[in-house]
């Protein structure tokens, strides 16, 4: 995978693609392309999915599912942190009121 100008050249399943992106997002695009290529190769090599289009759709669904699971975990963690912070603030308010 190579870089030039405001585009990044990536290779996914033996095909090259030029992706336009800002310079500060190049590393992320390269990383995403590598992950997509890995997932598509896994699906192709499993022989459970045939055809480039089906492989791409299955890879997209799989990666999107992972993303949604991570978002759900992050939201749950954020709620837990907020609940804990609210409890600590209430406790601090109580201590300050009593002193």
What does pLDDT average to over the chain? Answer: 91
User: Is residue 3's pLDDT more than 60?
Assistant: no
Tokens of 34: 């590598």
CATH of the domain at 91: 3.30.160.880
Read off the pLDDT of each residue in 13-22 and give the average, rounded to a whole number.
Answer: 94
Find the domain containing 64 and state its range. 2-98
pLDDT at position 5 is: 65
The SS3 assignment for 22 reads: coil
pLDDT for 58 beyond 80:
yes
Token pair in block for residue 26: 């190049």
pLDDT over 90 for what percent of the chain?
82
Q: Could you give the number of structural domains in the chain?
A: 1
Helix (H) or strand (E) holding 13, with range, is: none
Q: What is the pLDDT of residues 73-90, one digit of tens each?
A: 999 999 999 999 999 999
């Amino acid at each position: 995978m190579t870089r030039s100008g405001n585009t990044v050249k990536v290779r996914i399943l033996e095909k090259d693609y030029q992706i336009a992106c800002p310079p500060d997002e190049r590393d992320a695009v390269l990383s995403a392309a590598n992950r997509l290529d890995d997932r598509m190769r896994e699906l192709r090599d499993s022989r459970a999915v045939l055809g480039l289009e089906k492989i791409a759709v299955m890879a997209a669904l799989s990666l999107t599912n992972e993303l949604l699971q991570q978002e759900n975990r992050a939201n749950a963690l954020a709620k837990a942190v907020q609940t804990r912070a609210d409890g600590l603030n209430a406790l601090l308010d109580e201590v300050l009121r009593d002193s």
